[in-house]
């Protein structure tokens, strides 16, 4: 079946091969699910106790309450809180592993570096830790201590990762709403408790609890993970490489890293280089590592590893017949990969105790034996290369040049070429004078309900044309990378006149000899914390609340619960946060109203749901213009 909906030429090309090879893809399975359940789509079904399942009739003709008496508002609000808590849990779990890694690295118990002493010092200073004349491992242990205290059950105060890093004005807002999170595990546990049968029946209270989960996610997940990973592996600096499945090479061993946590993928990149002679010994020219989803973004940002593809085309990567091994850790890994890999020579390798897939080889990854696991995985890929069937290989010849690695430190570094004393000033000046109308962060996934990448690309085209600077992470960054929006030519092609002037000036000053890309790749989904850091710095420099900045966020094609938790965090930061796919909340007028309008007065931000890319772009621009006016920038 050729059900594919995508604008990615490589995906379209491979869908034909999938059809020929008899491979069922995510698009085929989506078709088979039609029509999807209306109750579920509206958020109106509840299975929280086994008197249920209960469903509310959205047309008011059938039941108006669940068996226990829960109304549509309660059911929708409870479901949303659980989803956002689940998203936060994924990020907190990820962050926690990185904290453990830093601890063991600092104790010298594992073979991981502490690569970025400057970042370590900056984070320690931010947490109020004295850094003077302390050895890096001593300092790292003190930072870990704070992280562990934040995670500890005994503490009643809000997380220090929040109070140390959040914008001042925001802290006051969150405190007044009673949503400052204590330790993340406790808050997630409480959300699970709060949503069980016979608990909270107040939709407003439930929505506020959801906002609190947004903060758990933003600071206990995203920010903590990025900070730890930067200390361990280095803070990204600009790198140049390529994106899309054309980065796979016929005469190389192709090893794809897929998932999210860089603890394993960093090791794989390193061992792929070291073991390259073994690949040559079997007739390959070397080992080509490429990345899918956020593992891809992580090793791109720090090691310049090319991007293979984003979420929706993960199955099609295997259909190339050229992937010798795909190694996965956690999150966004389609269970279908095991079956698809079995139709080719590809060895699918799972590594985590909580992600096992029938049909995959399981090689347990532990911090203590990371090098052994990585070597074994690379060697498996080399062995699989020998089994590759040339008749089954088809690598679509599509790849776009990209520049990535735009951490806040890298952005400030480039700007400091224009003003060494006040590096944020050139950016702020250009926002004030209107050369840059505002900034939109596009984040999040692909969703099979939308033609792959189309919403990201079409909306961003419109934003750039209107001189809005775009920063991107996650699968959105993949989409925009593949579409050629992350290189200098992209600035010429897509940026409006005044934005182009700024990009050119920064590009020249930074020594690129060409404009800066119009879309800045800021990393993986946990690296949304980098966007948080950037807006926090901008707000601090201007002495205003982040909610006042001409900045907005968008997840054009969200699919994962993580996208909902990140979006919720963006709303708590005071941003209008666009979703291009309707989340399952429309079954409750009250909850929908709270999320899209009612909360704004108290929290400053809101969700904005719009399923047309052009309209969404203009909606965001309108929002940015209102904020400009309120700041007195445009009369």
Footprint of ligand NFS on this chain (CB under 6 A)? 260, 293-294, 311, 332, 444-445, 474-475, 525, 559-560, 562-563
CB of 260 to ligand NFS, least distance (A): 6
Of 75 and 166, nearer to ligand SF4 (C-beta) is: 75
Residue placing its CB nearer to ligand SF4 in the complex, 70 or 551: 70
54 annotated among ligand-binding-site residues:
yes
Residue 56 binds what, of ligand SF4, ligand NFS, none (CB under 5 to 8 Å, by partner type)?
none
Contacts of 132 (CB under 8 A, 6+ apart): none
Q: Is 294 annotated as a binding-site member? A: yes
Residue 192 touches ligand SF4, criterion: CB under 6 A: no
Residue 67 interacts with ligand SF4 (CB under 6 A): yes or no: yes
Binding site annotation covers 475? yes
Is 343 annotated in a binding site? The answer is: no
- My answer on whether omega of the bond before 53 falls inside 30° of 0, hence cis, is yes
Residue 469 DSSP code: E
Q: Residue 311: which of ligand SF4, ligand NFS, none does it interact with, CB under 5 to 8 A by kind?
A: ligand NFS
Least distance to ligand SF4, CB of residue 622, Å: 39
49 is in an annotated binding site: yes
Question: DSSP assignment of 397-446, as one string?
Answer: ---EEEEE---HHHHHHHHTTT-SS-THHHHHHHHHTTSS-EEEEE----
Q: Which does 514 bind (CB under 5 to 8 A by kind): ligand NFS, ligand SF4, none?
A: none
Select the span of 35-43, 66-74, 333-341, 379-387 touching ligand SF4 (CB under 6 A). 66-74
Q: Which is nearer to ligand SF4, 52 or 338 (CB)?
A: 52
SS3 161: helix
- Give the whole-angstrom CA distance, residue 136 versus residue 428: 35
Indicate which single residue of 11, 26, 27, 66 sits in contact with ligand SF4 (rule: CB under 6 A): 66
Choose between 86 and 255: whose C-beta lies nearer to ligand SF4.
Answer: 86
- Integer Cα distance of 251 and 272 in angstroms: 15
For the CB of residue 204, give the shortest distance to ligand SF4 in the complex, in Å: 19
Within 303-407, strands assigned E span: 307-309, 325-328, 347-350, 361-362, 400-404
Q: How many CB atoms lie within 10 A of CB 240?
A: 13
User: Measured in whole angstroms, how far is the alpha carbon of residue 456 from the centre of its chain?
Assistant: 14
Kindly give the pairing relationship between strand 325-328 and strand 347-350.
parallel
Tell how strand 287-292 and strand 307-309 pair up: parallel
CA–CA dist 299, 116 (Å, integer)? 16
Token readout for 111 is 């073979």
CB of 472 to ligand SF4, least distance (A): 39
**Burial annotation 608-617 (CB, 10 A radius, 16+ → b, else e):** bbbeebeebb
What length does the chain have? 635
- The span from the CA of 283 to the CA of 253, in Å, is 9
Q: Pick from ligand SF4, ligand NFS, none: which does 562 bind, CB < 5 to 8 A by kind? A: ligand NFS
| Nearer Cβ to ligand SF4 (39/607) | 39
Ligand-binding annotation for 37, yes or no, is yes
What angle separates helix 72-106 from helix 262-274, to the nearest 10 degrees? Answer: 40
Binding partner of residue 94 among ligand SF4, ligand NFS, none, CB under 5 to 8 Å per kind?
A: none
Specify the residue, 68 or 122, whose C-beta has the smaller distance to ligand SF4.
68
The Cα–Cα gap between 146 and 151 comes to 9
Q: How far is the CB of 479 from ligand NFS (least distance, A)?
A: 10
Quote the tokens at residue 118. 């400057």
If one asks whether residue 356 binds ligand SF4 (CB under 6 A), the answer comes out as no
Q: Which does 532 bind (CB under 5 to 8 A by kind): ligand NFS, ligand SF4, none?
A: none
Residue closer to ligand SF4, measured from CB, 71 or 155: 71
Site for ligand SF4 in 34-63 (CB under 6 A): 46-49, 51-54
CA triple 523-348-20, angle to 5 deg: 100
Smallest separation (angstroms) from ligand NFS to the CB of 551: 20
Residues found near ligand SF4 in the complex (CB under 6 A): 46-49, 51-54, 66-68, 70, 75, 197
Annotated binding site for [Ni-4Fe-4S] cluster: 260, 294, 332, 445, 475, 525
């Amino acid at each position: 079946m050729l059900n594919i909906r995508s604008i990615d030429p490589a995906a379209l090309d491979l869908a034909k091969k999938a059809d020929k090879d008899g491979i069922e893809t995510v698009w085929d399975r989506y078709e088979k699910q039609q029509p999807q359940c209306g109750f579920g789509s509206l958020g109106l079904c509840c299975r929280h106790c086994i008197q249920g399942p209960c469903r509310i009739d959205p047309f008011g003709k059938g039941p108006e309450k669940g068996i226990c008496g829960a109304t549509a508002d309660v059911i929708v609000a409870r479901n949303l809180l659980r989803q956002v808590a689940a998203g936060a849990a994924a990020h907190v779990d990820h962050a926690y592993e990185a904290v453990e890694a830093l601890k063991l690295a600092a104790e010298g118990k594992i073979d991981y570096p502490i690569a970025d002493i400057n970042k370590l010092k900056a984070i320690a200073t931010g947490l109020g830790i004295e850094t003077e004349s302390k050895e890096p491992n001593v300092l790292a242990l003190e930072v870990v201590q704070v992280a562990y205290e934040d995670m500890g059950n005994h503490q009643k105060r809000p997380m220090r990762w929040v109070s140390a890093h959040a914008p001042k004005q925001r802290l006051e807002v969150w405190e007044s709403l009673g949503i400052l999170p204590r330790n993340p595990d406790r808050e997630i546990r409480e959300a699970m408790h709060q949503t069980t049968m016979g608990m909270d029946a107040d939709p407003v209270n439930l929505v506020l609890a959801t906002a609190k989960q947004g903060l758990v996610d933003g600071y206990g997940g995203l920010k903590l993970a990025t900070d730890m990973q930067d200390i361990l592996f280095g803070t990204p600096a600009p790198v140049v490489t390529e994106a899309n499945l054309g980065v796979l090479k016929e005469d190389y061993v192709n090893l794809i890293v897929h998932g999210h946590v860089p603890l394993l993928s960093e090791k794989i990149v390193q061992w792929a280089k070291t073991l390259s002679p073994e690949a040559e010994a079997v007739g390959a020219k070397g080992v080509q590592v490429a990345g899918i989803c956020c593992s891809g973004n992580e090793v791109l940002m720090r090691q310049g590893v090319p991007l293979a593809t984003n979420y929706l085309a993960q199955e099609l990567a295997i259909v190339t017949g050229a992937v010798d091994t795909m190694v996965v850790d956690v999150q966004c890994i389609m269970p279908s990969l095991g079956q698809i890999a079995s139709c080719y020579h590809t060895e699918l390798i799972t590594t985590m105790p909580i992600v096992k897939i029938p049909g995959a080889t399981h090689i347990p990854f532990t911090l203590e034996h990371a090098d052994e696991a990585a070597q074994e995985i690379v060697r498996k890929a080399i062995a699989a290369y020998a089994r590759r069937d040339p008749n089954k290989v088809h690598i679509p010849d599509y790849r776009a040049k990209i520049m990535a690695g735009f951490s806040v430190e890298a952005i400030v570094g480039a700007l400091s070429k224009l003003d060494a004393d006040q590096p944020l000033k050139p950016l702020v000046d250009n926002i004030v004078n209107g050369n840059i109308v505002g900034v939109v962060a596009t984040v999040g996934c692909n969703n099979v309900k939308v033609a792959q990448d189309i919403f990201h690309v079409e909306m961003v085209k419109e934003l750039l044309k209107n001189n809005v600077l775009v920063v991107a992470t996650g699968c959105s960054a993949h989409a925009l990378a593949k579409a050629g929006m992350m290189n200098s030519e992209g600035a010429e092609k897509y940026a409006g006149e005044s934005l182009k002037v700024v990009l050119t000036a920064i590009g020249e000053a930074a020594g690129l000899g060409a404009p800066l890309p119009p879309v800045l790749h800021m990393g993986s989904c946990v690296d949304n914390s980098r966007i948080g850091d950037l807006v926090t710095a901008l707000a601090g420099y201007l002495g205003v609340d982040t909610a006042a900045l001409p900045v907005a966020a968008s997840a054009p094609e969200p699919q994962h619960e993580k996208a909902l938790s990140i979006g919720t965090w963006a709303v708590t930061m005071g941003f209008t946060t666009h979703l291009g796919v309707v989340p399952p909340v429309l079954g409750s007028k009250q909850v929908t109203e709270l999320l899209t309008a009612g909360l704004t007065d108290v929290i400053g931000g809101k969700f904005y749901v719009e399923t047309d890319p052009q309209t969404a772009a203009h909606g965001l621009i309108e929002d940015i213009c209102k904020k400009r006016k309120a700041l007195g920038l445009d009369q």
